[in-house]
A = this chain, B = another copy of it.
Amino acid sequence: MARAAATKGQTRIQREKTEQILEAALEVFARNGYRGATIDQIAEQSGLSKPNILYYFDGKRAIHGELLGRLLDTWLEPLEHLTDDGDPVEEICDYVRRKLEMARDYPRESRLFANEILQGAPHIVDELSGPLKQLTDEKARLINGWIKAGKIAPVDPYHLIFSIWATTQHYADFDVQVQAVLGDKAASRFGAAQAHLEGMYRALLSSKG
């Protein structure tokens, strides 16, 4: 039997079908939320039968859990790239750009995450107050260092990071609203957003406190 979870010692079929299921599940969970998603929908989306899906995963919860687990790494990655290498303002603007690109290129992942947090993050509370908090603390210290060195304007590093998360993910999570409001201007929404956000964070970080 399969009942995958580990990524080692799997047959080709196991690997392929597992990915196939996760791809379909991402689509379905992102569109309908956890409760709104059904195994039947995942089955249809993936082209597999329901029992076949349950042959590879120990239930709906397990599929969702696997998706969230993988997602979190992807999610933390852009923030990890925030380092002391170049100019602080450019570093942060780069981070904003990467996050916005993720919202544009991986909206389903963003929505999956948003859904989970909105419901109180029942499945990933530990990851939030563990890895996510640690990484954020680390980057907050980095930003505080820049402030103390007078390289950027004094801002609350945590709320700066929250602002970046909020403003970038907004374009994935609330895309319907963005498109409805922009109307025929919607096509260029990501380009315009990039320009606006870069200007905003540049102004904030370069302002004279």
Residues of A that sit less than 8 Å from B by CB: 31-36, 111, 114-115, 117-121, 125, 128-129, 132-133, 136, 153, 155-156, 158-160, 162-163, 165-167, 169-171, 173-174, 176-178, 180-183, 185, 192-193, 195-197, 199-200, 203-204, 206-207
Contacts and interface: CB of A to CB of B under 8 A. Distances in A.
A158 B181 contact: yes
B163 A200 contact: yes
Contact of A155 (B128, B129, B199): B199
21 contacts: A33-B119, A34-B36, A35-B35, A35-B36, A117-B176, A117-B177, A118-B118, A118-B173, A128-B181, A129-B183, A132-B181, A153-B203, A159-B192, A159-B193, A160-B196, A163-B196, A165-B170, A166-B169, A166-B170, A200-B200, A207-B207
A169 B35 CA distance: 23
A-B pairs, top 8 by smallest CB distance, nearest first, are A35-B36, A166-B170, A128-B180, A159-B196, A203-B207, A129-B180, A166-B166, A35-B35
A132 B196 CA distance: 21
Contacts of A182: 158
Nearest to A132: B181
Contact of A204 (B115, B159, B170, B204): B204
Given A111-B118, A115-B118, A128-B180, A195 B136 contact: no
Contacts of A125: 176, 180
Contacts of A159: 192-193, 196-197
A178 B169 CA distance: 15
Contacts of A163: 167, 170, 196-197, 200
Among A117, A167, A200, chain B packs the most CB atoms within 10 A around the CB of: A200
Contacts of A197: 159, 163
Given A121-B176, A160-B196, 15 more contacts: A32-B119, A33-B119, A34-B36, A111-B118, A114-B118, A118-B174, A120-B176, A132-B180, A133-B181, A159-B192, A159-B196, A165-B174, A166-B167, A200-B204, A203-B204
